[in-house]
Structure 1
Amino acid sequence: MDAARHPVFPPAVAHLFGSARFASALTLCILGAAFSTHLLRATMGWPGLLAILVALVALATLSLLARRQAIDWYGLPPITLLVFLGWAIISVFWSTTTVLSGARVLYLLLFTALGVYLTLVRDTIQLVRGLGDVLRVLLGVSLALEVLSGVLLDLPIAFLDIQGNLTSLGPLQGIFGSRNQLGLIALIALITFSIEFMTRSVPRMLGAFSIGLATLCVLLSGSPVTMGAFIVVVLAALALAGIRRVPSATRMYWQLGLLAIVAITAAVLWLTRSRILELLNAGSEFEVRIAVWREIVRYSQMNTLQGWGWVGAWPPIEPPYIWINLATRGTQSSALSAFYDVYFQLGIVGVISFSALIGFALVRSWLLASEKRSSVYVWPALIVVALTVTSFAESTVLGEYGWMLLIVCAIKASQSMSWRDALRRHEPEPVPEE
């Protein structure tokens, strides 16, 4: 049946929801909400945040319906994403907190839907520009509130978890709730602003100012996790810059050599991890993580294959999460590692599917950044590198803006390097009937 003869909306409504201006405005709203969840919860509570997210998903659905004829759905989404989400949904049935698990799965699906929408209606440079505009505002607001708290009032802003440490040069939290969150978001902003500067998407002065703002926030966050991720991202950017300049005929050999260097470096870093932690002043944080991970391994032995069921951020008073916090004398809201969190909540099956999702996203985006001439292809690769490195010490990638960015990068890379798309290109042409 011809969709054009049976429109979903009247022409005026279809023009509104299908317009580029509506998609651009909705993109800014989605990115702003995803990166401001802590601020929205602190000011509006969970009901306000959920109402905003549901409204954004509804508007995104209307926009997709209005644009349905212009969207190519083939090869979307990646199989690894479907497997991970499917296992998380099924885990509700064996979870010890069935109702809560069901609600948290729906919360994860909200950000999945928003990530899929961004990927379908905006190309990479439009996403970079939209994210750049949003993060400039959010980092600026964060610094302004830190100045208000630490300099003008000399009092913490308790409901936003801002401690007012600006006069002692950090650590700062901004509007994101913790120094690790501010640091990671500032690192994402630094990557985004750098791509804007390289592609000349913004005026040079604005681009330079934005890079300086993000760098300042990275440093003032005082986050050892972010500093480690920052070093890896810089090294990855330098490696990509070198590989993009070598002849295509020898590029594969350079890629294999780089892979060998990464493997050797990872082994050396593991063997010298104690000294590195001392240099980063992260010893106490690492000890907390070790204690939490040890308890996770102990409790996971009861449900090794399937895990305890998906809950995302830990419910503080529900077992077995309360038991781990009591054993470690902490108040953790996550396993302080995405991989341990997935293992605890979704078992071995979850770890394999999650590792495949993030691994394929990393490899595909890296190969695209190596082969494509435009600098905009570097953005997904470096974002996935930042998320992957941070995932070893934080669980941010499993929810909200971290999960949404992973979805965007994974689908963007899959659209250009999907094995299903390769099969479609090599399908034999139908033989005409005689």
Structure 2
Amino acid sequence: MPADDRIPVPVAVPGSRRSLMPALGTWAFFLTFSGQGVRDLVGWWAFGAVAALSAVALVLVFFAEGHRVPWRALPPVTTAYVLVCLLSVLWSQYPEETALAGLLMLTTSVVGVLLACGLSLRQMTDALSRALEATLVLSLLLEAYVAMVLRHPLIPLYMQDWDEVPISYYWVNGDLFNGGPIQGIVGNRNPLAFIALLTLLCVAVRWADRRIRPAGLVIWTAVSLLVLVLTDSATVSVALVVCAASGLVLWLVRHVPHRWRPVVLTTAAAIGVVLVAAAIGLHSQVTAVLGRSSDMSGRWEIWQRVLALWEEHTILGWGWIMYWVPWLPVFATLVVRPDGTPTMSAHNAYIEALFQTGVVGATLVVVLVVLLLYRSFRLALRNIDSDASVLLPALLMTALAVQSFTESRLLSEGNWVVVCALGTWLGLHRLYERGRNGTRTDSTAPVRAASTRTPTRLNAS
């Protein structure tokens, strides 16, 4: 949309007090992306209390500041998948665990919706960026402490009284000055690498939007790249290349004459299809270049065993459980790591959805990803000449889509919050466009401005 177009959005009620939503947004993103670090620090029960109090605070502040949720803006496919997860308690093979996992899914979904309705896109970008930056800094500081002061691997603090802690449960190994791989406060190199990638995307968009100073650009780019190198994640390396290619295409579209833009997009799409086909056909060579085994670090075996289980409950799945819990017999011996601990996920969002929610749920997840990719790129292309901030949804969805093929995290915690937030924000934008074009909208939807009733910009900070 043109930069001077003014668009009604949910904002705070009149008053001189500063809104708390941006700060709570930062905390919500930090807690959902870095939750494992908090759990390793204070334990599961304390983390549950912190998460519950944080969710309650977000809801109270959201309504106290005058924000509302326009129901027509809720993403229908996302909502449908959440309902399937909640209803799966009726046919779940582990109903108690499904009930708890369903509550967690509902909570993270609500958080994403509230952030989209209570923050502008630029505010949401800033909140996400600050949360991810804090995670990277804390991760490097913790790694430095373990490497220089502790000088031996650090286990989660709540495991201090365990007789034996498996290697895969270690919080930080202290390999910062050995070239990595590092795990940071999240205790796992793959999600830490993904956090670094998302930070890099936020910084790039804020720079293109002229909302970050040169010093900040240099510092956060350097920190993000350093973490990417030290984590050495093959999945995130591929995601980085794909995001960079997508960013390059968007940059070319913005800088070529309008008549050439369809040619650029068609050529880019054709090249992308060819490269994907080549990568699939030459997957052994590709994984060798990435320094990984041809079975993708054991993922083929995991997928085969999970699909064999799915065949027992094909339509509706075994029941939503998010992360696999080790005390259930079906997961205790399904795929065992070298240190004797069970694997916690299928390492593929679509196979995970297929196993837990059947064909019904997996179909919804596929449609959801395709739909969000299409709508976010359409928005970016429509506003490519005027508003750089709308590039972020497209780039975030690109990163999430690539990661979803080798990780299940798309369906939980921070990644799911981002999915729900982006889906809801795109719904809000669609409502506005329908209203601007004269299409009848829900008159009760509080997509309105505050005190002076002057519409504010959609991306106003």
Is the TM-score greater than 0.5? yes
Please tell me whether residue 93 in structure 1 is matched to residue 90 in structure 2: yes
> TM-score under structure 2 normalisation?
0.84
Please tell me whether residue 411 in structure 1 is matched to residue 409 in structure 2: no
CA distance in 1, matches of 2:237, 2:253: 24
Aligned to 2:356: 345
Aligned to 1:113: 110
Kept after mapping to 1: 8 A contact 2:21/2:62? no
Kept after mapping to 1: 8 A contact 2:32/2:413? yes
**Cα drift, residue 413 of structure 1:** 2.4
Please tell me whether residue 265 in structure 1 is matched to residue 275 in structure 2: yes
Residue type of the partner of 1:376?
A: S
Question: Do the aligned partners of residues 418 and 384 (structure 1) sit closer, same or farther apart at CA in structure 2, a change above 3 Å counting?
Answer: farther
Aligned to 1:50: 48
Cα RMSD of the aligned pairs, angstroms, is: 2.6
Matches within 5 A, 1:54-65: 54-65=52-63
- Deviation track 1:6-37 (CA, whole Å, cap 9, x = no partner) reads xxxxxxx9878x95432222222212212220
What is the aligned counterpart of 2:33 among 7, 32, 35? 35
Aligned to 1:318: 328
Kept after mapping to 1: 8 A contact 2:314/2:358? yes
Aligned to 2:222: 212
Kept after mapping to 2: 8 A contact 1:75/1:420? no
Please tell me whether residue 291 in structure 1 is matched to residue 291 in structure 2: no
Corresponding residue SS for 2:218: helix
CA distance in 2, matches of 1:107, 1:15: 33
Question: Do the aligned partners of residues 418 and 356 (structure 1) sit closer, same or farther apart at CA in structure 2, a change above 3 Å counting?
Answer: farther
**Cα drift, residue 187 of structure 1:** 0.5
Corresponding residue SS for 2:185: helix
Kept after mapping to 1: 8 A contact 2:136/2:184? yes
Matches within 5 A, 1:132-151: 132-151=129-148
CA distance in 1, matches of 2:431, 2:365: 18
What is the aligned counterpart of 2:153 among 130, 135, 156? 156
- Deviation track 1:371-395 (CA, whole Å, cap 9, x = no partner) reads 2121111111111110110000011
Corresponding residue SS for 1:382: helix
Higher relative contact order (CA 8 A, sep 6+): 2
What is the aligned counterpart of 1:201 among 211, 215, 218? 211
Matches within 5 A, 1:349-388: 349-372=360-383, 373-388=386-401
**Cα drift, residue 247 of structure 1:** 4.2
Question: Do the aligned partners of residues 279 and 182 (structure 1) sit closer, same or farther apart at CA in structure 2, a change above 3 Å counting?
Answer: same
Corresponding residue SS for 2:251: helix
CA distance in 2, matches of 1:150, 1:284: 32
Please tell me whether residue 332 in structure 1 is matched to residue 330 in structure 2: no
Q: How many residues align?
A: 414
Q: Name the structure with the higher helix share.
A: 1
Question: Do the aligned partners of residues 37 and 287 (structure 1) sit closer, same or farther apart at CA in structure 2, a change above 3 Å counting?
Answer: closer
Aligned to 1:279: 289
Corresponding residue SS for 1:24: helix
Corresponding residue SS for 1:216: helix
CA distance in 2, matches of 1:408, 1:29: 15
Please tell me whether residue 300 in structure 1 is matched to residue 313 in structure 2: no
- Deviation track 1:197-251 (CA, whole Å, cap 9, x = no partner) reads 2223232202210111011101110111111111111111111111233444554
**Cα drift, residue 291 of structure 1:** 0.2
> TM-score under structure 1 normalisation?
0.89
Aligned to 1:397: 410
Aligned to 2:3: none
Residue type of the partner of 1:97?
A: Y
- Deviation track 1:256-299 (CA, whole Å, cap 9, x = no partner) reads 44333322221111001100100101117615100010111111
Corresponding residue SS for 2:151: coil
CA distance in 2, matches of 1:252, 1:427: 32
**Cα drift, residue 330 of structure 1:** 6.0
Aligned to 1:4: none
Identity of aligned residues (%): 24
Question: Do the aligned partners of residues 76 and 175 (structure 1) sit closer, same or farther apart at CA in structure 2, a change above 3 Å counting?
Answer: same
Corresponding residue SS for 1:381: helix
Aligned to 1:8: none
Stretch of structure 1 that moved more, 278-287 or 367-376: 278-287
Aligned to 1:127: 124
Residue type of the partner of 2:357?
A: L
CA distance in 2, matches of 1:418, 1:132: 26
Corresponding residue SS for 2:241: helix
Kept after mapping to 2: 8 A contact 1:171/1:221? yes
Unaligned runs of 5+ in 1: 1-12, 429-434
Stretch of structure 1 that moved more, 188-197 or 384-393: 188-197
Residue type of the partner of 2:277?
A: A
CA distance in 2, matches of 1:182, 1:163: 14
**Cα drift, residue 103 of structure 1:** 0.4
Unaligned runs of 5+ in 2: 1-11, 157-169, 442-461
Kept after mapping to 2: 8 A contact 1:360/1:410? no
Corresponding residue SS for 2:410: helix
CA distance in 1, matches of 2:220, 2:352: 34
Kept after mapping to 2: 8 A contact 1:111/1:403? yes
Kept after mapping to 1: 8 A contact 2:283/2:294? no
Kept after mapping to 1: 8 A contact 2:69/2:114? no
Kept after mapping to 1: 8 A contact 2:249/2:265? no
Kept after mapping to 1: 8 A contact 2:331/2:342? no
Question: Do the aligned partners of residues 344 and 74 (structure 1) sit closer, same or farther apart at CA in structure 2, a change above 3 Å counting?
Answer: closer
